[in-house]
Structure 1
Amino acid sequence: MDTIFTLLYPISLSLLLYFLTLLFRPGSRPGFKRYPVVGTVPVFLLNRRRFLEWSTEVLSAHPTHTAVFFRAIGGTHGVFTAEPANVEHILKTRFENYPKGTRFVSLLQDFLGAGIFNSDGPLWRLQRKIASFEFNKRTLKNFLLESVIKAEIRTKLNPVLREAARSGRVLDLQDVLERFAFDNVCKLAFHVDPGCFDRDDPDQTGFMRAFDEATALCSGRFMYALPMSWKIKRFFNFGSERRLREAIRTVHEFADEIIRLRLEENSQNGNDKYEDLLSRFINANDETLSTELLRDVVISVILAGKDTTSTGLSWLFWLLSNDPNVVEKARYEVEKIRVRSGKRVGDPFNYEELRDMQYLHAVISESLRLYPPVPVDTKACLENDVLPDGTNVKKGWFILYHTYAMGRMESIWGKDCCEFKPERWLDEDGLFKPDSSFRFPVFHAGPRICLGREMAYIQMKSAVACILEQFDVDVLGKEKRPEYLLSLTLRMKNGLPVMQNLHNGGEETMIRHIIVSICQGCGFAWSISWVAFGLSAAKLFHALETDCFLQSNYAGDWKRRRAANKLILTKNCRLTF
């Protein structure tokens, strides 16, 4: 016995000293704090409610914005990174070595199945190939604007916003934008109108609410310190897993009904009369896709089209509510294009007009930089690898690239990285200048880059232009940043309550429109005082003041329009060619 004790005592003491050294050693390099046996789990549990801020702080403090995350013994280790070179390595250079992986796929399998966002290899390539044909069609962009967005704005979004403005009712703008996006994506991809703007019928929005709940509960699985926990709950069907099962059942029934009706209609007509994304998958050449896979496609498309767009817009309007200067600049650009088109205030813009909204494009991109709809994404490492910054990644580890943190890195965006500054996206002529998708991976990057990114900008610009032109939006409690719900997307936990008033800028726009129309008809310069005779002096002064202010901020745009012989309003208050 004494011999055994003599042997075990120094071994135990050595292990204790080793663990204490790991725990308390000074000057350890920046990263996630690691404890013996339990790894990084304790600090993760302490900060899980502020996961994005905490992980951003850790990555910011590290020289290469990369840190290793150690799970408890028996768990899977991983790497967090916000370094563009590492992101390019993961998403492009060594793309085949970093798939979604079985861990990620299993967490979302119940909800997304084998859809494009939850599959790898040949199955992912098949879906990507089929979808790319549809998204690259010019006719799809035209249909999106002419038959979907214009109709949704004119018949649904505008009436809802106007009624709230006239009645003084507090409106949850996030909820409105989610309904708008949900109806849009269903019409665009499946030729189905879910009617989510109908507030009087809960059945019309039940599946959308089930969709939101399924998304949130699936995301919750990622936050378990012990992955076995959610599997046990699922096995015994209790707690959050029971609610998830019920929500998924509702979502699946909705998707199955869309597919069933389309297949029945095709059978009766002998052919598919629609040219949409669902038709493309049903009629894929040399491929017979199962009903289950079609359902997974439907759910994945809704996830991409609804949550990302509405989430991005919600954060944008919160940012705008705290920066009236940006609102005025964006509003002026919209009004300027409105005058040029000759359309009535409130009419949706066409593709070319939206494309010309360079400043608005910058505003949306800046909002997405600070509040990306998908704040983090994970991959799995198939074989041992070394990242460009020297970090070792072992086989079987997960790797997480942190889009939210990347938008807050001084090394990428400068010392003003935490400021909402759309001008960082404009060149000296006021034209939008895109950045590398590896510095700005909001729409992913590499072979998996989002096929619908242009569609997303079209939809967001249409909605923002509509709202800014007609309404003054005031977010209640705007001084405090809304609490986010860490789901698959960065939704606001309590919505975005707003009060809004009808914007009087429509009259000012009409004044400018009248002035331009008269001068175009006469063919030479006219004095403002003659043209404005009989009009409201106060309205005219405000219109001129806005023009002069924006000319000083858009000197490059002003010069370009002179060179193009376009009518502009000059600082000496005369109209010239």
Structure 2
Amino acid sequence: MGMKVSWLQCIFISLLMLLPLSVALWRRVRPCSICRSYLTGSWTAEFDNLSDWYSSLLSKSPTLTIHNHLLRSIVTANPKNVEHILRTRFYNYPKGKAFSAVLHDLLGCGIFNVDGDRWLSQRKLASQGIGSARARAASFVVLRALVQDRLLPAVASAACFPHGIDLQDLLRSFFFECICRSYFGVSPQQLELDQPAHVLADAFDSASRISACRGAAWAPFLWKAKRLLCVGSERDLQEAVGVVQRLADEIIRKRRALTQATTIGDLLAKFMSTTSDDRLLRDIVINFMLAGRDTVASALAAFFWLVSRHPHVELSILDELQRVVTQPTTTNSTTTHEATKETITTYVEACKEEAGGLEYAQLKDLHYLQAAICESLRLYPPVQFDSKRAVEDDKLPDGTFVRRGTRVTYHPYAMGRMESIWGADCHEFRPERWLKDGEFVAESPYKYPVFQAGRRVCLGKEIALMQMKCVAAAIFRKFTLQTEPSCNRLDFSPGLTSNIRGGLTVIVKPRPS
């Protein structure tokens, strides 16, 4: 009984300590409808996703900027503000210690979670590994071989499943292998893992989701207390991070057993030549796994969904591929779309024999495909928002005052839905907005910060676009993908990247000749 009383007393004292904080917090947010809605969750009555709610709020703001006092945060969709944050006053808007603490358990001291000299030194090395034209060409060689040997046969085999497959899951597995081979110089088949692949994927998803929920918490002391006590979601996070870290450790161990770089873009080998700190190497591996696996896979899944709902876009893509790329091998037995196991087995072998037809030099001629991909990324960026922390007092170009220590968030997802930026048809999937006289024309990165911009612009941007074009071209030339007609919109799971909730089910059929 004494122990029970002791616990009750602790709970009672804790509640008494929280009462003044709760009263002060309520007084702070009571005048602000945005803060009240965020605190109570009343926004969920109208919106399924937090990003859709923010998009609605920002579209109604004359400056495309709003305040969330509860989070001590400013959220903006104003391109001039984005340029100010990412270029003009770059050094005033680092990630910040508070943000780094949120993601530290998962990302540690990796490039996406550090500032200053640590960030700069990692970026310089990474630019040598993935930022050069030579590295992109080498990455294409690895990618095309994997498309031939892994992806196309896997998609062809999926035609045996009348109820469809999860394309997002297939793409995530594929790009995990791409990352391992291109960036880390090892094959997943070489790794001695103590967990099956789906457990590793679930651990990554869980760690990403819980880390993202930390960042959205209005009271950070709650997750910090749970971490201290190792209970609830924080215990789940530690278990998931442990699985991810063991995977990274095994990649490092296997790579260290090799004597030389296996590809020109062997990123891990470059970092291993400068440090023997396995903990830092582990952080680097996890950072690039997150960036290279989840972002491209989720972006491509959304792209295939959009194209499946716009047949005229698919026809335009096919027309361009027919003009630019050598015709693929086809089999008469698949022209009726009646896919038996025997015909699929034949088709799988045909996929293995053909290298995909697409050459590296031809990528630049796929103007419409690139326009369609960029249009998809405008509507469904794999990273929906990004936050910085103001070091000093500042004023944004739209006149918004930024107090020192304020969290400043720019929102690519919302920016893609602003009429003042993209016009009255901003909600429409229209690749033609990126074309001028049939050629692709890029937009300002501050209007379209899908790959960030300024000094922290994504080093893997060109490789990611190359990967998306190569995979899309290979699949479209050989298969038709049908999504569920009842799926009228995409819903995303909470996480550091925008993975489609429940995956993306598609029915695969060989494309008739």
Task: Please indicate the TM-score interval, normalised by the length of the shorter structure.
Answer: 0.7 to 0.9
Q: How far 1:469 sits from its partner (Å)?
A: 0.9
The aligned residue for residue 472 of structure 1 is 480
Can you list the C-alpha shifts for 1:79-134, whole angstroms capped at 9, x where unaligned?
00000000000000000000001111000000000100000000000001111112
Can you list the C-alpha shifts for 1:10-50, whole angstroms capped at 9, x where unaligned?
xxxxxxxxx999968xxxxxxx6267xxx664355644952
Q: For residues 455-470 of structure 1, what are the structure 2 equivalents within 5 Å?
A: 455-470=463-478
Taking structure 1 as reference, are residues 274 and 339 closer, same or farther at Cα in structure 2, changes over 3 Å only? Answer: closer
Distance 2:85 2:256 in 1: 40
Can you list the C-alpha shifts for 1:512-558, whole angstroms capped at 9, x where unaligned?
xxxxxxxxxxxxxxxxxxxxxxxxxxxxxxxxxxxxxxxxxxxxxxx
The aligned residue for residue 139 of structure 1 is 134
Q: For residues 296-445 of structure 1, what are the structure 2 equivalents within 5 Å?
A: 296-339=283-326, 347-348=355-356, 349-427=358-436, 429-445=437-453
Q: For residues 37-436 of structure 1, what are the structure 2 equivalents within 5 Å?
A: 41-42=38-39, 46-47=43-44, 50-71=49-70, 76-146=71-141, 148-195=142-189, 203-266=196-259, 275=264, 276-284=266-274, 288=275, 290-339=277-326, 347-348=355-356, 349-427=358-436, 429-436=437-444
Does the Cα contact within 8 Å between 1:214 and 1:247 map onto a contact in 2? yes
SS at match of 1:486: coil
Identify the range of structure 1 (308-317 vs 272-281) with the bigger mean alpha-carbon deviation: 272-281
The aligned residue for residue 568 of structure 1 is none
The aligned residue for residue 485 of structure 1 is 493
Distance 1:363 1:249 in 2: 39
Does the Cα contact within 8 Å between 2:67 and 2:75 map onto a contact in 1? yes
Does the Cα contact within 8 Å between 2:49 and 2:491 map onto a contact in 1? no
SS at match of 1:99: coil
Q: How far 1:332 sits from its partner (Å)?
A: 1.3
SS at match of 1:484: coil
SS at match of 1:501: strand
Does the Cα contact within 8 Å between 2:328 and 2:478 map onto a contact in 1? no
Distance 1:21 1:259 in 2: 49
Paired amino acid for 1:168: P
Can you list the C-alpha shifts for 1:325-369, whole angstroms capped at 9, x where unaligned?
001000111122224899998532121112211100000000000
| Aligned-residue RMSD, C-alpha | 2.5
SS at match of 1:313: helix
The aligned residue for residue 449 of structure 1 is 457
Identical aligned pairs, as a percentage? Answer: 40
Q: For residues 472-551 of structure 1, what are the structure 2 equivalents within 5 Å?
A: 472-504=480-512, 507=513
Distance 1:402 1:482 in 2: 18
Does the Cα contact within 8 Å between 1:80 and 1:401 map onto a contact in 2? yes
Can you list the C-alpha shifts for 1:306-337, whole angstroms capped at 9, x where unaligned?
11100100111111111000010001111222
Paired amino acid for 2:271: F
Does the Cα contact within 8 Å between 1:132 and 1:451 map onto a contact in 2? yes
Q: How far 1:301 sits from its partner (Å)?
A: 0.8
The aligned residue for residue 513 of structure 1 is none
Can you list the C-alpha shifts for 1:194-238, whole angstroms capped at 9, x where unaligned?
259xxxx96244323321221112111122221111112111112
Distance 1:52 1:383 in 2: 28
Paired amino acid for 1:84: P
Q: How far 1:180 sits from its partner (Å)?
A: 1.1
Distance 2:65 2:121 in 1: 33
Q: For residues 24-35 of structure 1, what are the structure 2 equivalents within 5 Å?
A: 33=33
Distance 2:286 2:177 in 1: 14
Paired amino acid for 1:114: C
Distance 2:289 2:27 in 1: 51
Distance 2:27 2:58 in 1: 25
Does the Cα contact within 8 Å between 1:322 and 1:479 map onto a contact in 2? no
SS at match of 2:325: helix
Structure scoring higher RCO (CA < 8 A, sep ≥ 6) equals 2
Q: How far 1:136 sits from its partner (Å)?
A: 3.2
Number of corresponding residues: 461
Can you list the C-alpha shifts for 1:370-402, whole angstroms capped at 9, x where unaligned?
000000100000100000000001001100101
Q: How far 1:479 sits from its partner (Å)?
A: 4.2
Distance 1:414 1:373 in 2: 22
Larger radius of gyration: 1
Distance 1:67 1:457 in 2: 32
Taking structure 1 as reference, are residues 209 and 34 closer, same or farther at Cα in structure 2, changes over 3 Å only? Answer: closer
Distance 1:22 1:373 in 2: 31
Does the Cα contact within 8 Å between 2:182 and 2:263 map onto a contact in 1? no
Paired amino acid for 1:55: Y
Can you list the C-alpha shifts for 1:478-531, whole angstroms capped at 9, x where unaligned?
542132112111111110011121111xx3xxxxxxxxxxxxxxxxxxxxxxxx
Task: Name stretches of at least 5 consecutive residues in structure 1 with no aligned partner.
Answer: 1-18, 25-31, 508-577
TM-score (norm 1): 0.76
Taking structure 1 as reference, are residues 322 and 387 closer, same or farther at Cα in structure 2, changes over 3 Å only? Answer: same
Does the Cα contact within 8 Å between 1:403 and 1:442 map onto a contact in 2? yes
Can you list the C-alpha shifts for 1:452-479, whole angstroms capped at 9, x where unaligned?
1000011111111111111111101454
Paired amino acid for 2:69: F
Distance 1:168 1:439 in 2: 42
Does the Cα contact within 8 Å between 1:40 and 1:69 map onto a contact in 2? no
Taking structure 1 as reference, are residues 175 and 273 closer, same or farther at Cα in structure 2, changes over 3 Å only? Answer: closer
SS at match of 1:438: coil
Does the Cα contact within 8 Å between 1:321 and 1:478 map onto a contact in 2? no
Identify the range of structure 1 (208-217 vs 414-423) with the bigger mean alpha-carbon deviation: 208-217
Paired amino acid for 1:295: R
The aligned residue for residue 522 of structure 1 is none
Distance 1:298 1:409 in 2: 36
Does the Cα contact within 8 Å between 2:29 and 2:69 map onto a contact in 1? no
Distance 2:28 2:41 in 1: 21
Q: How far 1:152 sits from its partner (Å)?
A: 1.5
Does the Cα contact within 8 Å between 1:195 and 1:204 map onto a contact in 2? no
Q: How far 1:444 sits from its partner (Å)?
A: 0.3
Does the Cα contact within 8 Å between 2:186 and 2:255 map onto a contact in 1? no
Taking structure 1 as reference, are residues 49 and 236 closer, same or farther at Cα in structure 2, changes over 3 Å only? Answer: farther
